[in-house]
Structure 1
Amino acid sequence: MLKFKSFLTLFSAILYLSVCAQQIDPSRQWSMYRGNSISGYLDNVNLPETWDAATHKNIAWQTAIPGLGHSCPVVWGDKIFVTTAVSEQDEDDVKTGIYGSIGSVPDSSMHYWRVYCVDKHSGEIEWDRTSYTGIPEQKRHPMSSHANCTPATNGEFVVAFFGSEGLYCYDMNGNLQWSKDFGVLKSSFFLVKEAEWEFSSSPLIHKNVVIIQCDVQENSFVAAYDIKSGKELWKQNRDEYPGWSTPNIYSDGEKDIVVVNGYKHRGGYDFKTGEEIWRMAGGGDIPVPSPVIGNDYIYFNSAHGKVSPIYAIQKNAVGDITLEERATSNEFVKWAKLRGGSYMGTMLLYGGYLYNARWNGRMTCYNAETGEEMYSEKVGEGNSYTSSPVAADGVVYIADNDGNVYSVKAGPEYELLATNKLEQKVMSTPAIADGYLLFRTVESLIAISEIER
């Protein structure tokens, strides 16, 4: 009888854990920069139309995050993860606006690179871990931070990348599993190596593999690591200028492909082997935006230099698909716009339309299939916008650096629905979870929600 009772107890525990696991739908988790596959949207989430930080209207909670970090929040179940670099010298020290200075912030103070886990419902900090302590190996731009890379999680592990300060993997309770040191990753303007701007390419997790893209002054590469052990699975060297773009994943129908933005080498690599599938040169020579995936295409944008293009590239691309000068299509490039790409913002593909938001706040909407321009409008009154647009339930959200968040009706005609205020500087892109819109400001993590408490 005792053995039978023990069996029932064990069976009940297994059943309970199974039910709990089934309640978390991986497809509805904001597991990396801009959510699954960098898509930037999540529908059926029940977000409020208006909120106000000054009056606390629809502000579920606000939690101060020490230090300075432009990494975005990621969400899995009830856990939110965010990173930061803590230093008295860097506290709230961020310049906003559009200006031409390429200089770096003089910074020789001690920093503490940390990972925070925050409860989604209460805003309470569940745990925080210091990954690295020391003086930064690289300087940062006045608009940048020393914790720019958004973490990634698969519900079992969370990975944080701090550039020259290393790559770290924790379990969901904050226990360090492994770490890697890649030496100094020199992220600076390719024409002026002394203009250091800090590293910013975020990791992604796909099928228990961690992918990172490191386009730097010397020894650029893209690589894959086993998430459980940290073992290197493959590494491909790249002849590329420094870039700040996060890689993505797509399937061509037969295999998964790692896709990266770049100037000399935009392209795709076999997810399992790292073998190069296709490549393309040209575009903006300081690539920051990440590629987005939809239908049968991979969409790219970039800026700086002679052109600021937007490309729609077919998933079946192979070989060198570089466009001829002034050309806007070829066998594998469906369509291209040679001017108008964004310097900072990753595009949003939502409901058949492609939204490209520029640093000055002008957002252009295209028919994603044909490239036809539907509208081009300045959104709001802000002076600078480094946050990429996200969407939920027919609304596109974009924030300016002053903390004004603009709600734009999704679709081919421009309509500004609302302007809501956070009263803090916003440099990073928000995250979306069921019932929550989550903003990482320079000072805090803020949860927007109309859920009754």
Structure 2
Amino acid sequence: MKKYLITALAILSLVQCKKKDAPKPWYPSGTPNISDVQLTDFCDGIITITGVNFDSVPKGVSVALDSLPLQLLSATQTKLVVRVPATVFSGSIYVTSEHLSLYWPATLTKGPTVIDSVSPIVAGTGTMITLSGHFFNPNAAADTVYFNHIPATVLSASATQIVARVPAGATTGQVAVQSNCQSAVAKTNFTLSNKGTVYVGSHDGNFYAIDVASGGPKWLTPLPGGGTSPAFANGVLYMAGGDGNDSNLYALDANTGAKLWSFKAASPWQGTPAVYQGVVYLGTSVDNTFHAVDATTGQQKWSYKSSQPGDGWGVPSVYNGSVYASCLVSSTYSLDLSTGALNWSRGSLSPGSPVAVGGLVYVSGYDSSGEMGVLYALNAADGSIAWTNPIYQLNGSPTVSNGVVYVGSYEHFYAFNAATGAQIWSVPQGSLYTAPQIVDNTIYFASTGVVVSLNTANGQQNWYNSLVQNTFYQGGLVVAHGVIYVGGNDGGVYALDAGTGKVIWTCWTHAGVESTPCVVDSAGAVFQAQQ
């Protein structure tokens, strides 16, 4: 009996030993799988492999890039971290162990950094420049771009593209990139050209500063509707919200686009501000109130509310101690610059925006019947009528230059003697809504999809550019140093040669451009359209 008991205990012990030594299943939750492979440290060649059910014992796992063994730094069930013992490499990932064999088919490559192109290659200080190429460090903080040895601010980076801003102090010369462990130099030299900046708003909801030389954006600031046409004074831009609902007047730093202040009115603003001796003048659309706002603080100095029905205020004109403005489809007013007190008003004109010069105020309107367009010349001192001239289908605002008033209708363009109102010439050339600009004895204006140049002497057409049938909004154009700047409803801001009408560059925004551009050159000269 004792013999059988000993035998039984021995068998039981053997069974228990076998259970204890039996191997445990390695994949408790499923089959091993790689879900992603990333080069997570460009310079050190660190690769991170993520997935599920990896062998977490480092000595049990080996990783290779094709036939090149990789150094395993760490391993868990969901992540393997390895280092490539080479500065340049290309291949696919293989993961093997006693328990698994995995393959990642995508090719992982690191080669020498190369700059293929720099765009734009001619630009001014502060312009955003795009470097395109191969094997950049996608970590922007690890990249440095140099413009002729001057380091620039890197805005964004990927393996194939770096965006940087031309730094202050940059000069014409090489463009290079340094990415900690690698560097490259562009084959073509960068040319610095600080000719100035174009400021304009777009209906994509941004206000833009654009480099004059290249058409590249320097900065953009979100504003409702992109903002109205701007005015510039002492390094500050002034504009209102441009979506028809925003009742804020804004001041932006012209160098950075930073908002300095905003002034909120009772209703949305209308038109382009006038800035004179530290005061911003502009009217609102719904409550028909005209405001004077301190240009430095954004505090209101005075306001004047029209008692006449109207459709908002047009663009004001400052002249000889007064500000002249029209409450559209109603009256034209003369207000004291310092106090806002009413000097005079002239009703029943259905006027547009006035232009005050040489003792007279010129304004487009209609006769008492509202049927016939009339160009009015009012005495600036008291608002009395100096002369009138009827114009069928008059619709443009006038511009005055060298004793001549230029204005357009739907079908014709006219020149009148500014003192007498006598017609000098007319040509069959429609000027829809926009005020013409006069530079060097040449007339420029934007109409329905075209930009036109006429001779001031007789109205003869110099050139005509349809810009591939891009239709312009009611915003006008500005001319600076032989170049025309104008926006279209296709989202383009165009620079055209004023002598030929040929497009020099186009800066694309993401919606229509109704704002009339303002240009400030490198010497600080300001070019703003008479509107």
- Aligning the two structures, in what range does the TM-score lie when normalised by the shorter sequence? 0.5 to 0.7
Is the counterpart of residue 179 in structure 1 residue 262 in structure 2?
Answer: yes
DSSP-derived class of the 2:207 partner: strand
State how far apart, in whole Å, the 1-side matches of 2:393 and 2:275 are: 27
TM-aligned CA distance change 1:429 to 1:303, over 3 Å: farther
Aligned to 1:356: 407
State how far apart, in whole Å, the 2-side matches of 1:168 and 1:257 are: 20
State how far apart, in whole Å, the 2-side matches of 1:349 and 1:292 are: 8
TM-aligned CA distance change 1:257 to 1:200, over 3 Å: closer
TM-aligned CA distance change 1:272 to 1:77, over 3 Å: farther
Aligned pairs (5 A) from 1:24-43: none
The answer to whether the Cα contact below 8 Å between 2:270 and 2:285 also exists between their aligned partners in 1 is no
State how far apart, in whole Å, the 2-side matches of 1:388 and 1:148 are: 19
Aligned pairs (5 A) from 1:18-417: 78-86=196-204, 113-132=205-224, 146=225, 149-162=228-241, 163-165=244-246, 166-172=248-254, 173-185=256-268, 200-216=270-286, 219-239=287-307, 240-243=309-312, 245-251=314-320, 255-260=321-326, 262-284=328-350, 287=351, 289-303=352-366, 305-316=370-381, 318=382, 321=383, 332-340=384-392, 342-343=394-395, 345-358=396-409, 360-379=410-429, 385-402=432-449, 404-411=450-457, 413-417=458-462
Which structure 1 segments of 5+ residues have no match? 1-59, 64-75, 87-112, 133-145, 186-198, 322-331
Is the counterpart of residue 420 in structure 1 residue 465 in structure 2?
Answer: yes
Runs of 4+ in 1 over 3 A off after TM superposition: 256-264, 338-341, 449-453
Which structure 2 segments of 5+ residues have no match? 1-122, 129-193, 506-531
Give, in angstroms, the shift of residue 241 of structure 1. 1.0
Deviations 1:287-329 (A, max 9, x none): 4x3211222211011249334221111222x3xx5xxxxxxxx
TM-aligned CA distance change 1:369 to 1:77, over 3 Å: farther
The answer to whether the Cα contact below 8 Å between 1:116 and 1:127 also exists between their aligned partners in 2 is yes
The normalised TM-score by structure 2 is: 0.52
Is the counterpart of residue 430 in structure 1 residue 512 in structure 2?
Answer: no
The answer to whether the Cα contact below 8 Å between 1:379 and 1:406 also exists between their aligned partners in 2 is no
Give, in angstroms, the shift of residue 420 of structure 1. 2.4
The answer to whether the Cα contact below 8 Å between 2:206 and 2:223 also exists between their aligned partners in 1 is yes
Q: Percent identity?
A: 21
Give, in angstroms, the shift of residue 440 of structure 1. 1.1
TM-aligned CA distance change 1:309 to 1:452, over 3 Å: closer
The answer to whether the Cα contact below 8 Å between 2:282 and 2:316 also exists between their aligned partners in 1 is yes
The answer to whether the Cα contact below 8 Å between 2:313 and 2:325 also exists between their aligned partners in 1 is no
The answer to whether the Cα contact below 8 Å between 1:215 and 1:238 also exists between their aligned partners in 2 is no
Larger-Rg structure: 2
TM-aligned CA distance change 1:77 to 1:220, over 3 Å: farther
Question: Counterpart amino acid of 1:366?
Answer: F
The answer to whether the Cα contact below 8 Å between 2:354 and 2:362 also exists between their aligned partners in 1 is yes
Give, in angstroms, the shift of residue 361 of structure 1. 3.6
Aligned to 2:17: none
TM-aligned CA distance change 1:148 to 1:370, over 3 Å: farther
State how far apart, in whole Å, the 1-side matches of 2:503 and 2:271 are: 34
The answer to whether the Cα contact below 8 Å between 1:347 and 1:355 also exists between their aligned partners in 2 is yes
Aligned to 1:52: none
DSSP-derived class of the 1:302 partner: strand
Give, in angstroms, the shift of residue 373 of structure 1. 1.5
The answer to which of 236-245 and 438-447 deviates more is: 236-245
Aligned residue pair count: 301
Deviations 1:39-81 (A, max 9, x none): xxxxxxxxxxxxxxxxxxxxx9xx9xxxxxxxxxxxx971211
State how far apart, in whole Å, the 2-side matches of 1:175 and 1:375 are: 47
The answer to whether the Cα contact below 8 Å between 1:213 and 1:260 also exists between their aligned partners in 2 is no
Give, in angstroms, the shift of residue 84 of structure 1. 2.0
TM-aligned CA distance change 1:243 to 1:303, over 3 Å: farther
DSSP-derived class of the 1:213 partner: strand
DSSP-derived class of the 2:245 partner: helix
Give, in angstroms, the shift of residue 233 of structure 1. 0.3
Question: Counterpart amino acid of 1:82?
Answer: V
The answer to whether the Cα contact below 8 Å between 1:115 and 1:160 also exists between their aligned partners in 2 is no
Give, in angstroms, the shift of residue 261 of structure 1. 5.2
Tell me: higher relative CO, structure 1 or 2? Use CA pairs within 8 A at least 6 residues apart: 1
State how far apart, in whole Å, the 1-side matches of 2:365 and 2:315 are: 13
TM-aligned CA distance change 1:116 to 1:259, over 3 Å: same
The answer to whether the Cα contact below 8 Å between 1:312 and 1:336 also exists between their aligned partners in 2 is yes
Deviations 1:59-110 (A, max 9, x none): x9xx9xxxxxxxxxxxx97121111222xxxxxxxxxxxxxxxxxxxxxxxx
The answer to whether the Cα contact below 8 Å between 1:406 and 1:420 also exists between their aligned partners in 2 is yes
Is the counterpart of residue 445 in structure 1 residue 493 in structure 2?
Answer: yes
DSSP-derived class of the 1:448 partner: strand
State how far apart, in whole Å, the 2-side matches of 1:184 and 1:245 are: 15
